[in-house]
A and B are shown apart, each in its own frame.
Chain A
């Protein structure tokens, strides 16, 4: 099975930088996704890591260490609209074909203050 942990809540100030951590345990790792979800809406894709290292995409970056079972999402130059839930999701390699399931962490609710 998979066990994914991330902080429940975080608060940061507009313009600042925030790092949201995610640790996971899985018997078959095949990629880690970060999603942003605003209340009442579906998750939207932010980043994907399958190899160790940092992936940068504008104001958002994501890091992965497979040996440590650890990832973080880094948000720079925070804006009020970044207030949302951030979900860490791990894909299991045990499934075949396209039926590769995602297991989601509980989500980190980020509040950006003015």
Chain B
């Protein structure tokens, strides 16, 4: 199956700093990638849709100035959490859809655990 990677797998930072998370599709091109956030014992919540060559589409309630998304190429999207605070501590997961037998099935990255002190 298709492979999506994320880097870093975990990060600990101080409050007020910015953190960048990378999502890469390793063996296919993705014009669209999705960024999810998951708090403990909760489901995945879509934060934004990253579009190559254009602005990201943010879900209601997600601050675009706080969660900066850049879809730099057909294989890379980055999520930058700016001025991170403890309430931003969460599990961030990206996914990329790929054309195939399951009609653009999404392939998930392994996730990034962010802890803000």
Contacts and interface: CB of A to CB of B under 8 A. Distances in A.
A43 B104 contact: no
Interface string B89-105: 00101010111001111
Contacts, number: 58
Interface string A80-114: 00000001000000000111111111110100000
B115 to A, nearest CB: 12
A104 B102 CA distance: 17
A31 B104 CA distance: 11
B102 A40 contact: no
B113 interface: yes
Interface residues of B, number: 29
A42 B97 contact: no
A87 B97 CA distance: 18
A83 B5 CA distance: 25
A48 interface: yes
5 contacts: A33-B105, A40-B111, A87-B43, A98-B30, A103-B46
